[in-house]
């Protein structure tokens, strides 16, 4: 069926009609005969062109949403934030064995990195984009459940998973994955038109490649400002969380969804907590504006509560392992590893995280969490940003107390 439709797509641009003209040539001829209907034709032009474009998208199906979907090919080293949200169904149907899901903290992970860790037979895809929210994650998992080839799903858990409003990230194409019978071109927009034409004419979807950038350690002004924020933020941190497990639906939903959707396939699931630079937590506490529905001084405490609740939920599910990397001092205390305090930029660091995840190390459990959390709090409160870009700590201030140090 796909071969037949591919042939139809190939012939579409030159398919003759009764007048011996291609569809585009026929359209041009119709408009050239302007006569007395010129203004009517002019008014109808946008409608006709939009209809033609919509049908082209539905026929070519650049994102593999339909049974006759295109054989999707992406430009090498493409940045996943520009395309991965549109290709979830393609990943589910495309024979992928290893899928990484996450936010901006893991966008720089490439399929090649996953191949090096999990073997050359691993067919990998990175579904990551900035600001991924719980509703986005649940939609992605819901679409991936049809896959018969998935061996491992790695989910990076960031602070955006604390969102509790049930909304998708702005720009997430939820319409793609909630089809209506009358919405034959639900993926129609000018981006999809462009991608359809590129697939038709060039055989590959193009997007900007992953940016390289410079480590924050090389930006003196940035490091100076970070040092100030870190110093101020330590005095503002409030380690008493404003939420509990009942307030964070994703902590229960994700474990339940994994059991229902992937247990029969034997798919293994790893939840990883991407390691931030140690100044991340206190520097955010010093910022007035914040993107979640609580004050920034509670960011660290609430993030720890999210992690605690996920570990508790995973303890009842043998399919799920939780991994933390905040004990990796050579990562979290070295600013040359980071583009900014929340985003790793070195591929070697990502590969180390993936390697430890694959080996089943750095696992967090209900038994190990209390000590792990206490160590992280102490390191954050003892950390001093060095202006020369090297790691530095201090020990003049003791860690604040948390009301909850034990798992429920």
Beta-carbon neighbour count of residue 46 at 10 Å? 9
CA angle, 255 then 261 then 265, to 5°: 115
* Alpha carbon distances (Å) from 208 to 170, 212, 366: 20, 12, 42
CA distance 353 to 337: 13
Question: Which residue bears the tokens 């999990």?
Answer: 118
d(CA 41, CA 39): 5
Distance CA 98, CA 341 (A): 28
CA distance 313 to 306: 11
103, 128 contact by CB (below 8 A): yes
Per-residue pLDDT for the chain (408 aa), expressed as one digit of tens each?
455 545 545 544 444 444 455 555 555 555 555 555 555 556 666 666 677 777 778 888 888 888 887 778 787 777 888 889 999 999 999 899 999 999 999 999 999 999 999 998 999 999 999 999 999 999 999 999 999 999 999 999 999 999 888 899 988 998 888 766 566 677 888 888 888 888 888 888 877 777 778 899 999 999 999 999 999 999 999 999 999 999 999 998 998 888 888 888 889 999 999 999 999 999 999 876 666 778 889 999 999 999 999 999 999 888 999 999 999 999 999 999 999 999 999 999 999 999 999 999 999 999 999 999 999 999 999 999 988 756 655 544 444 545 554 455
State how far the Cα of 152 lies from the Cα of 125, in Å rounded to an integer.
11
The reported pLDDT for the residue numbered 392 is 59
Please name which of 406, 379, 181, 172 lies closest in space to residue 282, comparing C-alpha atoms: 379
- Exposed/middle/buried for 356, CB within 10 Å: 0-12, 13-18, 19+? middle
Pairing of strands 124-128, 98-102: parallel
In the numeric block, which tokens belong to residue 396? 């003049």
The per-residue DSSP string of 17-82 comes to -TTS--HHHHHHHHHH--GGGHHHHHHHHHHHHHHHHHHHHHHH-TT--STT-----B-TTB-GGG
- pLDDT score for 262: 86
Q: What is the pLDDT of residue 398?
A: 46
- Report the pLDDT value the prediction gives residue 201, as an integer from 0 to 100: 82
Calpha distance 158→102 (Å, rounded): 8
Task: Return the pLDDT at 200.
Answer: 82
Residue 266 confidence (pLDDT):
87
Question: Which residues does 44 contact at the CB level (< 8 Å), separation at least 6?
Answer: none
Please give the pLDDT value at position 294. 82
Output the six-digit token pair for 9. Answer: 């797509």
CB burial of 197-232 (b: ≥16 within 10 Å; e: otherwise) equals ebbbeeeebebeebeeeebbbebeeebeebbebbee
Q: Which residues contact 373 (CB under 8 A, 6 or more apart)?
A: 304, 307, 308, 402, 405
Dihedrals φ, ψ of 126, to 5°?
Answer: -110, 110
Report the pLDDT value the prediction gives residue 374, as an integer from 0 to 100: 97
């Amino acid at each position: 069926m796909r071969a037949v439709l591919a042939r139809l797509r190939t012939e579409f641009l030159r398919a003759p009609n009764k007048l011996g003209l291609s569809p585009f040539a026929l359209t041009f001829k119709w408009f050239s005969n302007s006569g007395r209907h010129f203004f009517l034709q002019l008014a109808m032009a946008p409608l006709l062109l939009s209809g033609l474009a919509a049908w082209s998208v539905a026929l070519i199906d650049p994102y593999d949403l339909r049974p006759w979907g295109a054989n999707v090919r992406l430009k090498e080293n493409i940045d996943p934030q520009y395309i991965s949200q549109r290709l979830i169904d393609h990943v589910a149907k495309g024979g992928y064995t290893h899928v990484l899901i996450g936010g901006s903290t893991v966008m720089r992970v490439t399929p090649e990195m996953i191949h090096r860790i999990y073997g050359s037979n691993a067919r990998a895809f990175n579904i990551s984009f900035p600001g991924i929210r719980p509703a986005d994650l649940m939609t992605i998992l819901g679409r991936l459940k049809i896959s018969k080839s998935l061996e491992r799903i790695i989910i990076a858990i960031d602070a955006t998973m604390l969102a509790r409003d049930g909304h998708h990230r702005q720009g997430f194409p939820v319409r793609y994955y909630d089809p209506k019978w009358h919405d034959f071109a639900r993926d129609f927009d000018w981006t999809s038109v462009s991608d359809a034409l590129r697939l038709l004419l060039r055989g590959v979807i193009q997007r900007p490649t992953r940016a390289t950038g410079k480590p924050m350690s090389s930006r003196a002004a940035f490091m100076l400002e970070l040092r100030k924020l870190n110093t101020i933020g330590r005095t503002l941190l409030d380690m008493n969380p404003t939420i509990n497990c009942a307030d964070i639906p994703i902590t229960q939903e994700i474990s339940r969804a994994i059991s229902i959707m992937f247990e029969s396939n034997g798919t293994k699931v790893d939840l990883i907590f991407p390691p931030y630079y140690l100044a991340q937590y206190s520097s955010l506490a010093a910022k007035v504006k914040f993107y979640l529905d609580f004050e920034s001084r509670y960011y660290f405490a609430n993030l720890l509560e999210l992690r605690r609740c996920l570990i508790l939920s995973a303890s009842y599910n043998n399919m799920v392992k939780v991994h933390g990397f905040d004990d990796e001092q050579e990562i979290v205390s070295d600013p040359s590893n980071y583009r900014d305090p929340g985003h790793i930029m070195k591929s070697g660091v990502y590969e180390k995280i993936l390697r430890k995840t694959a080996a089943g190390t750095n696992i967090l459990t209900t038994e190990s969490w209390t000590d792990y959390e206490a160590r992280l709090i102490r390191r954050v409160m003892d950390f001093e940003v060095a202006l020369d870009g090297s790691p530095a700590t201090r020990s003049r201030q003791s860690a604040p107390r948390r009301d909850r140090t034990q798992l429920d």
